[in-house]
Amino acid sequence: MKRRERTPAKPAGGRRHGTGPSARRRMPLVVGLLVLASTGLVARAFDLQVVQKQFYQNQADARFLREVKIPVSRGTIFDRNGEPLAVSTPMVSITAVPGEVLDNADRIPALAQTLGIDPDQLKQYLERRSTREFAYLRRQMSPEAAKAVLALDIPGINGQREYKRYYPSGDVTAHVLGFTNIDDHGQEGLELAFDGWLAGKPGAKRVIRDRMGHTVEDVEQVRAPQPGKSLTLSIDRRIQFLAYSELKSQIEKSQADSGSMVILDVATGEILAMVSLPTFNPNAVNDSTPAERRNRAVTDVVEPGSTMKPFTMAAGLSSGKYTPTTPLIDTGKGVWYFQGHKIRDDTANGMLTPTGVLTKSSNIGAAKISLSLDTKFVYETYRAFGFGNSTESGFPGESSGYLKIGRDWRPFEQATMAFGYGLNLTPLQLANGYATLADHGVMHSPTFIKGDDNPARQIVAPQVADEIVKMLETVTEPGGTATRAQIANYSVAGKTGTAHQATAGGYAKNAYNALFAGIVPATHPRLVGVVVIKNPRVGGYFGGLVSAPVFQKVMSGALRLLDVPPDNIGRWYVGGPKMSNGSLVGNAPPRDPAGDAAAMREGVAL
């Protein structure tokens, strides 16, 4: 009988030996994986929350935390009496996050209608800037108009507070004040010259904005705002308006190309009025041209013509060779040939005293006086009055004029400069020269700031300056060339000027500059005024006919406004102004042979 073999029993659960680790052996593996994963998560959390916290905070802040500017108001500009000439008014600019607005494209037509622009143009504008986070839609809207836009509550549309400059006097003070750009920075005039003083410094703050761009919380102030400082000018708005009105009227009446007027306070050098025409409206700068925005009183130069003669006379009197009444100067029949050139007077004046040279405005007399003096001395006298140099008024773009170096003068140039040809001055330079004569030979730098610290310097001897002012009185009295500059109850000293306009290669035959420079009251000078009118075409072109009446009308009003007491009540001249010896100006006093001989020895042409 065979023995039955035993079949081994199957393992429990049907697991076969050698097919994998047991549960006990797998457990550490699983636990290890879990621990490793947890460690990785903890490490990553530590990295995000500790190591790279600032990076992700910055990323979040970049999306929701913004640093925005705190706008400040520009300082107000006042006239000397406290009247506002330039003020800043609060406005609102509409801004957009282009991408968010485009995500709500169905709202664009309503937005465009409120802004007053074409919907298609607005959409194209936003599409071109879709990658940006900021774009202006409309700058400087009135708060009421901006409120209507913001009331639409369109995602991505916000308002930003700004300030806009407003000029109450408009074109009357345009050239003096200048204007600002849309960002409220000075561009021309005193707005530019004092931009740092007026502008102030904007502040800054951090804010949190929601996804629609709306500010939901102010976080902190980064920088405190510093509002602009106010500025008080020397300009008197009332006198400025008078000058503007009368100059404009005369330019229109004479059909002139342009004109300017400057009025100075003699004792301080303060500019009380400065007008240039044509002008522009600083509240609508884009409607003007560069020519209209040019302040001709400080940027344009003219040959001063006969208004230069008092400075030639200052050299003559300072030299000791001349007094107001001696020696006599022979101006002949009104024509004098010098080195092949013809120098003319408008009339035949014959023998003239130095005072008569000014009264009758004799070119021949002025030329002979200048030629009798040392060239260097004449040049230095002109330079002392500031010709060829800036007045240092501080006005942007001020011209220094032109005065040729004295050592290069030819005799004929010295002769013609004596009566205002061959050199260039601005109206402000000319006014400052006359103010120096009026203030006993003391020069102040012209200033636009009331009460400015303005040191003075003596240019010519007080006696010389005072004598010239007295000599200039005869110009406005009967027999002079500027009787239309007379002001009732006030004595007026002044000088007319009429100069051919310079052109390429010479002078225009029928185009002139008409000038008048005057001092009032002559006995106690308070104001100096200069009027320049370019190319008058109707009613004459002489300074005494065109510019002197403007001076008379403006100064009459200015004297009343400033309560300047009259100095000439009841003083009227009969038969013409008198010289110190009692004879009429322009006529020869009794001849002194000894004096004539002395003059001849000094080379004076009689």
Q: Is the pLDDT of residue 599 over 60?
A: no
Q: Is the pLDDT of residue 572 over 80?
A: no
Tokens of 17: 């030996």
Q: Give CA separation, 25 vs 11, 13, 28, 29, 413, in Å.
A: 19, 18, 6, 8, 119
> What's the mean pLDDT in 503-527?
92
Residue 602: pLDDT over 60: no
Asked if 274 contacts 176 with a C-beta cutoff of 8 angstroms, the reply is yes
- What is residue 284's predicted lDDT score, i.e. its pLDDT? 93
Q: What is the pLDDT of residue 485?
A: 96
Instruction: Determine the Cα–Cα distance for residues 358 and 347; give it in Å rounded to an integer.
Output: 14
Q: Is the distance from CB of 244 to CB of 558 less than 8 angstroms?
A: no
Question: What is the token pair recorded at 399?
Answer: 């011209």
164-220 pLDDT, tens digit per residue, is 999 999 999 999 999 999 988 999 999 999 999 999 888 776 766 655 555 555 666
| 576: pLDDT strictly greater than 50 | no
Give 386: exposed, middle or buried? Use CB within 10 Å, 0-12, 13-18, 19+.
buried
The pLDDT-based confidence of 44 (bands split at 50, 70, 90) is confident
Question: What is this structure's pTM?
Answer: 0.81
Kindly report, residue by residue over 247-288, the tens digit of the pLDDT. Answer: 999 999 999 999 999 999 999 999 999 999 999 999 999 999
Residues labelled catalytic: 306
In this prediction, residue 131 carries a pLDDT of: 86
Provide mean pLDDT across the span 8-21. Answer: 53
| pLDDT of residue 60 exceeding 60 | no
Tokens of 464: 């010389």
Q: In order of start, what are the domains of the chain with their CATH numbers?
A: 67-230 (3.90.1310.10), 235-560 (3.40.710.10)
- What mean pLDDT is predicted for residues 397-413? 95
Tell me how far apart the alpha carbons of residues 233 and 197 are, in angstroms, rounded to a whole number: 13
Confidence of residue 19 (pLDDT cuts 50, 70, 90): low
